[in-house]
Amino acid sequence: MLEKQSQFNVKLNNLQLILKTIINHETLSRADLVRLTHISKPTVSNLIEDLLGQDLVLEIGQGHSRTGRKPILIKFNSTLKYFLVFTIGREDFHVAVSDLKGNIQESYTGAFKHLQNHHDRLLLLYAHMQELLEKIKITSKDLLKIHGAAPGVYVEPGKALKWSDHGFPEEQNMQAFLEQAFNTPVLLNHSSKISLFGEKIAGRARDISHAVYIDFGYGLGSAFMFNDQIYFGANKSAGEIGYVYSELKEFNSYCLKPYGWGALETIISGKALQKKGIEVAEKQKDTLILKLANKDKKRITAKTVFDAAEKGDPHAYYILKEAFKYFNMWLCNIINMLNPQRIIIGGGISNAGDFLLSFVENEIKDKVLIMPELAISDLKDKAAVIGAIAYLIEHTDFFTEL
């Protein structure tokens, strides 16, 4: 019995090795597979027949040969099933369908209406997911997995991410809703970590092994990469920098609430800068902040403050200068503790580009042991979509799950 089990395990391992080799190096001949895997020719032929029988690989025609018989080329059947991924933020969402190798077949970007509750947002998200499937002429039965990236918190160890936009706690179980709607396994991860995953695959973290990603949007989050691996933490909640304390007085008086605003977020975040901008606009009628918002305080955002500061408005500049003092203190602590090669800034506020970096680089260079490179994400919103797909590929055993 043990011998049969051992033989089965050897065959399973060889099948997985052959399939992985085909995926990574396609298209290949049987002779190529013998050379790359060091498995005997008869065994490779038998394993290929098994994979062909399960539709995991396809024969696609003849390759070139200088002498003798032309080899039959083999490739991974990447359209046997599909991945559906989505990312959601406070105001917008992105959905995409990819094949099993990560090639995006179709994608869509949409906006949430400001007054929608979580249930309405999920219904809108679901409707556009269905439209995407119809567009490429597949159904939910053709999906292998769904993966979502969202802002939120992990308030209960072992349970899924709770979607939160800092407005109110989640009223709808996003994972259960989508699993029931599509009858397909759904994974959820924090958007900051998945964005760093995307940066590692196709962005500013491609050429390094140690990085800190800062998700600078309406809220404030981060993610860490050590030795090419994204660090999730014991309960997947690593990187919640919004909840960092900036001073002893604050530490003694602040009570953390999982769905509330963190101490640092109340000082430096999209919402915090927006609030400061509105306060200044109410007191200083000559400020560019109000002018850029067409004299409508409701239209003031963090971007308005950055734009006004860049145009020379002293009030806007002071807001940013003061807020970044706290951000820079946290950043110096992280740099000295973790020694990253690069700090990557993403999220909506990263659109301020080099002007944003001007509030950071000169302020911290004399306060860290080894200065890392500072970089603005060039993937922007695409980082989370790319990361969500890459995460699924890395965490899927195609031989046993297809």
Torsion angle, alpha carbons of 93, 99, 103, 106, to 10? -40
Q: How confident is the model at residue 257 (pLDDT cuts 50, 70, 90)?
A: confident
**The pLDDT of residue 296 is above 70:** yes
Same domain, 108 and 173: yes
Same domain, 266 and 356: yes
Domain boundary among 61, 76, 91: 76
For the chain, what is the domain count? Answer: 3
Same domain, 148 and 275: no
The reply to whether omega before 27 is within 30° of 0 (cis) is: yes
Same domain, 91 and 70: no
Q: Supply the pLDDT for residue 170.
A: 55
Alpha-carbon distances, residue 363 vs 204, 305, 336 (angstroms):
22, 20, 15
* Domain assignment present for 198: no
- Out of 11-25, 63-77, 86-100, 188-202, least confident range: 63-77
Same domain, 259 and 364: yes
* Domain assignment present for 400: no
pLDDT digits (tens, 9 = 90+) for 140-198: 999 999 999 988 766 555 555 666 654 444 556 788 889 999 999 999 899 999 999 99
Structure tokens at 256: 């953390």
Number of H helices, E strands in the chain: 15, 14
Same domain, 306 and 323: yes
Q: To which H or E segment does residue 4 belong?
A: helix 2-25
The three-state secondary structure class of 104 is: strand
Instruction: Show the domain range for 112.
Output: 82-191
* Domain assignment present for 197: no
pLDDT digits (tens, 9 = 90+) for 68-90: 677 899 999 999 999 999 998 88
Domain CATH number, residue 14: 1.10.10.10
Same domain, 35 and 168: no
Q: To which H or E segment does residue 177 belong?
A: helix 174-182
Same domain, 213 and 337: yes
Domain boundary among 169, 191, 213: 191
Q: Supply the pLDDT for residue 175.
A: 85
Structure tokens at 130: 């269905």
Same domain, 61 and 102: no
Same domain, 216 and 256: yes
| Residues 6+ away with beta carbon under 8 Å from 157 | 234, 235
Name which residue leads in pLDDT, 115 or 393.
Answer: 393
* Domain assignment present for 70: yes
Domain CATH number, residue 113: 3.30.420.40
Domain boundary among 42, 57, 76: 76
Q: Supply the pLDDT for residue 172.
A: 61
Percentage above 90 pLDDT, the chain: 72
As a three-state string, the secondary structure of 271-329 is: HHHHHHHHHHHHHCCCCHHHHHCCCCHHHCCHHHHHHHHHCCCHHHHHHHHHHHHHHHH
* Domain assignment present for 398: no
Percentage above 70 pLDDT, the chain: 91
Mean pLDDT of the chain: 90
Q: How confident is the model at residue 63 (pLDDT cuts 50, 70, 90)?
A: low
Same domain, 257 and 179: no
